[in-house]
Each structure stands twice: as C-alpha cells, then as structure tokens.
Chain A
Amino acid sequence: MSQTATHSDSFDATASKIGMWLFIFTEMLLFGGLFIVYSVIRFSHQAAFHLAAEELDLTIGAINTVILLTSSMTVAMSVTSMQYGNRKLTLILIGTTILLGLVFLANKYFEWSLKIEHGLYPGSAILQGFGNGDTLFFGLYFFMTGLHALHIIAGISFLGVVMSRVAKGKIHAGFFAHLENGALYWHLVDIIWIFLFPLFYLIT
C-alpha cells in the first residue's frame, strides 16, 4: 500500500483513472435503470404524478441544484490548484466542496422532515388513501433522492480522505490521481442530481 501512496514506479495514473471511470459507469447504469423505472411508472400514472409532483418544493430543489453545481466547480478548481502546487488553495477548495455537500444534506433533511410531517412517506395512511400513483411517486422520490443522498455522503467521505492526504503532502503537484478520482466521483453525484431535479421538481 505504501508504494502506491508515494510517487512510485508501480503506479499508473491512467489505469487508476480508467478504474474510477468503470466504477462511475456502474453508478450511471444504476441510476439510469431507476430513471427508466420512473419513466415507465410515470407513463402509466400520469395524473397522479402530476398532482404528487406539485407537493414538492421547487425552491428547495433549485437551491440544492445551485449548491451542487457550485460544489462541482470548486472541486474541479481544486485539481487545477493542485496542478499548480498550491496546497493551501486546494485544501480550501476541497473544504468548500465538502461544506456545500453538507449544506445540501441539511436542506434534504428539512425537506424530508416536512414531507414526513405531512404524512407523505412510504407506507403512510395518508399516502395509501391517495392511491397507487401517489404511493409510487413518493416511493420513488424517497428511494432515488435517498440513494443520491447516500452518494453525497460517500462523496464527502471520499473527499475527506483526499483532503487529509493533501494536507499530509501524500497528494501533491506530481501525484494527484486520487484527487482527480475524488473529483470525478463528485461530478457524477452532481450529474445524477441534474436529472433528479427536473424529473421530480420541475416536470409536473
């Protein structure tokens, strides 16, 4: 392990990045499959999805979109600053990304709490009274945004490890493949949200 941690001859940055991309592909197809499920169910329950989608708070969804897009920019910039060898700026930029991720999760928490308070959660009596379409919509809403939130938590953890390695000098201007991979993962999480946002909040 310590060999890959330093700038050793056995490390192959291209292979490392291809490995990260392969993992990203599995994630893309995982969420891709869920998007297809969503489309098919929406197709067969159009009226219910129309009404249920209006329950969601567009403002909170839009704010979270802006937060994630901005965090994607800061993590992309951290790769540039690492390439310039500016460790302090890199740490600030990764830290900002993590902070924005946490703000996203806090918003998600309040959003979910409000829905649950109103009795809109899978298996609730109110939802069952509305019928199958609404049950399916909120089932998908909680499952897909929940799975996405888990990815945000994974991304924050990933970037946290990368950040401590940058701080220790294990990731530096001549060896930053792990920072690049962390950034790639964060962008993936951003892309998933870019599709979740219109599907759940915009299209009614």
Chain B
Amino acid sequence: MSTTEKHHIVRYRTYVYILLALLTFTGLSILVTSFELGPLAVSAALLFATFKTTLIFMYFMHLKFDQPVYGIMVSVVLLVFVAVLVVTFLDYSFR
C-alpha cells in the first residue's frame, strides 16, 4: 500500500477540452464586464472565475479521479473561507 500511487490516467484530450472550456469562460467574463452592468458584472465575473476554479480543481488537480479524502479536505477549507467572507460582509453591511 505504501508505495502504490493513483493509477487513473487522464487522457490528453480531456485536458484540451478543459482548457477550451477555461478559455471560453475567460472570454465570456471579459464580454460580460464590457457592458456597464455595475454590481451584476462583478457577480458574473466572479461566478465565471468560480466555474474555472472548479474545473481546475476537478480535472487538472485530479480531485474527480483521486480518493475522496482530498476533495473533502478542499471542501472544508473552502467552507472555512466562505464563512469568514460571509461574517466579514455581514459585519460591513450592518454597521
């Protein structure tokens, strides 16, 4: 057990598709923010960034193919971050 490594091999083609998706999301976020949409553009740009990050976590960083333990750890850290973010914004909105 100690010397075994993950043997799931991701195909090259999968990575090309993911890159194309990432570039598409980048293009869309540039397009969306080129209109004067105000706060909506901010949300849209951050939403696209979140999509891109999810793709990188799942495919490039292999969370989709690895043992669940890595994914669980990442989710916990992200939850901690979101909690800090929400608390900060609650603090600022109700001052």
Contact = CB atoms under 8 A, between A and B. Distances in A.
Interface of A: 7-14, 17-18, 21-22, 25, 28-29, 32, 36, 39-40, 43, 58, 62, 65-66, 69-70, 72-73, 76-77, 79-81, 83-84, 174-177, 180, 183-184, 187, 190-191, 194-195, 197-198, 202-204
B88 A36 contact: yes
Contact of B15 (A22, A65, A77, A191): A77
Contact of A73 (B11, B15, B29, B57): B15
Residue among A17, A43, A184 with max Cβ neighbours from chain B (10 Å): A17
B9 A62 contact: no
A197 B48 CA distance: 11
B33 A198 contact: yes
Contacts of B45: 198, 202-203
A187 B67 contact: no
Interface of B: 2-7, 9-12, 15-16, 18-19, 22-23, 26, 29-30, 33, 41-42, 45-46, 48-49, 52-53, 56-57, 59-62, 66-67, 69-70, 73-74, 77, 80-81, 84-85, 88-89, 92
A76 B10 contact: yes
Contacts of A8: 3
Given A65-B26, A73-B16, A195 B61 contact: no
Nearest to B84: A36
Of A17, A65, A175, A198, most B-chain CB atoms within 10 Å: A198
